[in-house]
Amino acid sequence: MSNRRVVVTGMGVVSPIGNSVSEFWKNVLAGASGADYITKFDASEHTTKFACEVKNLSTEGVIEPRELKRMDEYCHFAMVATDEAVRNSGLDFEKENPERIGVIIGSGIGGFKSFEESHRRLLEGGPRKLSPYFITQMIIDIASGHVSIKYNLKGPNYGIVSACATASHAIGDAMKIIQRGDADVMISGGSEAVISPMGVGGFNAMKALSTRNDSPKDASRPFDKDRDGFVVGEGAGILILEELEHAKKRRAHIYSELRGIGFTADAHHITAPSPGGEGAVRAMKLCLADGGLNLDNIQYINAHGTSTPYNDKSETEAIKIVFGNKAYELNVSSTKSQIGHLLGAAGGVELIASIMAIGNGVIPPTINYQKPDPECDLNYTPNQPIERKIYAAISNTFGFGGNNAVLSVSRYE
């Protein structure tokens, strides 16, 4: 472990159940579901007609009106979540060295809606109909670029892509940058906006989505025997990571300490997890070792928990291999039961849920858990939050391509 400790001093959320950390957390504990019928396009011909959409997002005071159309929606989400995280942190960038502050915000797909719309314009009107902003709307590093420009931050700056593990990889990289002394503060997380005809249609074509069109709010049901696929979501989760002494010097409020990371590859299949969750097992073990944590330190796992038949079974197996008999003493839950799968943003929002769980001594629930699956036999915190003192938690994210990223956080003491 580096002797430069990394703490979380700010958080921001845009999600299907709330566009601030406080609103998101209140609705998590209330067992709210963000799933409903799609309003962003006509989904009548799609196999799945529902999703977890962001609702009532305000960009006022964050993005200038003339800039809105020059950005894809995934950048809107990233900018709003970053604005909250920065305000939440109390950082005054005028008093900081901009060369010591960096930004790593990832996305699984980036400006997908802009790509889709621009392709339509090309087909209908030819290349002259393309916007001069098309490329900069689409590329995945542009959210980091917009944030650095807005706040004049000149440290390490890039985007990361690793499908559903994206935000966790971004946060892990940002942590290591601080630990090795290349920055004192990093703004990091993920953002995603793919609720579009091609986004939903593409996931339907690979049979990844739930088709429970008669009751969308019950469709995301991780670890339940009747799960039939994930529900696509959208949003952003952004954290301010800070070197401990830097945070103490400015008397920042410390929400949590970011302890360790574990990054592995399954090297098995482009979408299916490796047998027995072998890659996830190694990622969790590496994360615990990197953070100097033992099995007894962990009380809570925020599971990847996608509500797909293979993932939930494989992740359960992996947790049991890592924790042995202690697996049954853990509380496990999946935030995706409430907000759907935010793809490249999932790791950011789910790490924030883990940090809020530690700070409030409350385990968030897995909603829609109705029928136990014999192959998924852990304590998934069904349907109701429960109070529990938590010293440390791990957050699992696993992506297409066999990417595994696990983060650990603990109480700061």
Residue 273: CB atoms within 10 Å: 25
Helices (H) and strands (E) in the chain, counts: 13, 14
Q: Which tokens go with 59?
A: 């960009």
Helix %, strand %, coil % of the chain (to 5): 40, 20, 40
CA 252 to chain CA centroid, Å, is: 24
Q: Is 269 among the catalytic positions?
A: no
Distance between terminal CA atoms of the chain?
Answer: 17
Q: What whole-number distance in Å separates Cα of residue 73 and Cα of residue 68?
A: 9
Determine whether 169 is an active site residue: no
- Token readout for 391 is 């010293």
Catalytic site residue from 75, 164, 287, 376: 164
Q: Please identify which of the residues 46, 76, 146, 341 carries the catalytic annotation.
A: 341
Exposed/middle/buried for residue 59 (C-beta within 10 Å: 0-12, 13-18, 19+): middle
Task: Report the half-sphere exposure of 327 (CA within 13 A, side-chain side).
Answer: 17
Q: Pick the catalytic residue: 52, 146, 304, 376?
A: 304
Contact 410, 297 (CB under 8 A): yes
- State the helix-helix crossing angle for 142-151 and 73-89, rounded to 10 degrees: 40
304 is catalytic: yes
What are the catalytic residues?
164, 304, 341
